């Protein structure tokens, strides 16, 4: 399994990317493709959690889950705000999923290893979930740190305070950073801060996700779009002088 290479061994980047020294990756549906079927499992676990918490049938629990999502940004935020739940058991329950549907991705691992500079994960999930997923993909010590929903004080993207907390926690210079993310609205604040932004889209429509969250957009805050993160990064490295 490839190990992370030293920064001074990393190849140069094409001129317009040469200032980038920090690579920030969302986790779910970004570092792995949506067809891996991880997110549908998490989504179903959240519904099941609500069923068990309130004694609801599946349809009623699903409706409440979506209400919380649209009003508070995440179901967890809604459950904390309106019901005062303990978030830690919730996160453990929601992320207790089968990872056998996720294939190792040695090409993505080796490509990210070649990127010059720091690599960070910025997720609205938990650090434990991030470790499980990246471990299954084949990553070892490639990422310097994971900034998760607990680090964000349970305030999810796209709230500006969460990005500010991330920047401060990891001493990131936004003007020298790029963020890869699968939801367009989550790139508004990074763009405003001066980060380069890349929207990672599914190769085909994902029936388990909101339609508006997987649509290509022509917007000023989206600088690049791709349906293949690994190929995008390979092309970036190959285009270097």
Q: Are the C-beta atoms of residues 136 and 102 closer than 8 Å to each other?
A: yes
Two structure tokens written together for 93: 């329950």
Domain end, chosen from 76, 94, 112, is at 94
**Number of other residues whose CB lies within 10 A of the CB of residue 109:** 20
Please report whether residue 2 resides in a domain: no
pLDDT of residue 202: 86
Helix (H, G, I), strand (E, B) or coil at 110: helix
Confidence band for 182, pLDDT divided at 50, 70 and 90: very high
Length of the chain: 241
In angstroms, the first-to-last Cα distance of the chain is 28
User: Are 234 and 120 members of one domain?
Assistant: yes
Domain count, the chain: 2
CA nearest neighbour of 202 among 38, 42, 79, 41: 38
Query: What tens digit of pLDDT does each residue of 23-72 get?
Result: 999 999 999 998 899 999 999 999 999 999 999 999 999 999 999 999 99
- pLDDT value, residue 13: 65
Q: What is the CA radius of gyration of the chain?
A: 18
d(CA 74, CA 154): 9
3-state SS assignment for residue 49: helix
pLDDT digits (tens, 9 = 90+) for 191-236: 999 999 999 998 755 655 665 665 666 789 999 999 999 999 998 8
Do 114 and 179 lie in one domain? The reply is yes
SS3 category, 121: strand
Same domain, 183 and 76: no
For the entire predicted model, the pTM comes to 0.88
| Amino acid 4: pLDDT | 34
């Amino acid at each position: 399994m490839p190990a992370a290479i030293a920064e001074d061994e990393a190849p140069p980047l094409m001129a317009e990317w040469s200032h980038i020294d920090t690579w920030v990756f969302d986790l779910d549906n970004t570092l792995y493709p949506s067809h891996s079927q991880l997110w549908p499992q998490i989504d179903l676990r959240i519904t099941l959690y609500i069923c068990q918490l309130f004694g609801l049938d599946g349809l009623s629990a699903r409706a409440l889950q979506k209400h919380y999502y649209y009003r508070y940004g995440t179901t967890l935020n809604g459950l904390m705000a309106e019901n005062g739940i303990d978030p830690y058991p919730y996160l453990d329950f929601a992320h207790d999923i089968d990872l056998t549907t996720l294939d190792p991705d040695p090409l993505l691992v080796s490509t990210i290893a070649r990127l010059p500079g720091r690599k960070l994960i910025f997720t609205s999930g938990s650090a434990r979930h991030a470790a499980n997923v990246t471990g299954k993909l084949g990553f070892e010590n490639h990422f310097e740190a994971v900034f998760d929903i607990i680090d964000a004080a349970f305030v999810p993207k796209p709230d500006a305070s969460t990005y500010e907390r991330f920047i401060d926690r990891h001493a990131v210079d936004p003007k020298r950073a790029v963020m890869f993310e699968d939801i367009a609205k989550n790139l508004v604040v990074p763009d405003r801060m001066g980060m380069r932004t890349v929207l990672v889209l599914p190769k085909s429509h994902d029936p388990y996700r909101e339609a508006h969250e997987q649509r290509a957009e022509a917007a000023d805050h989206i600088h690049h779009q791709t349906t293949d993160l690994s190929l995008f990064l390979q092309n970036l490295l190959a285009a270097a002088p």
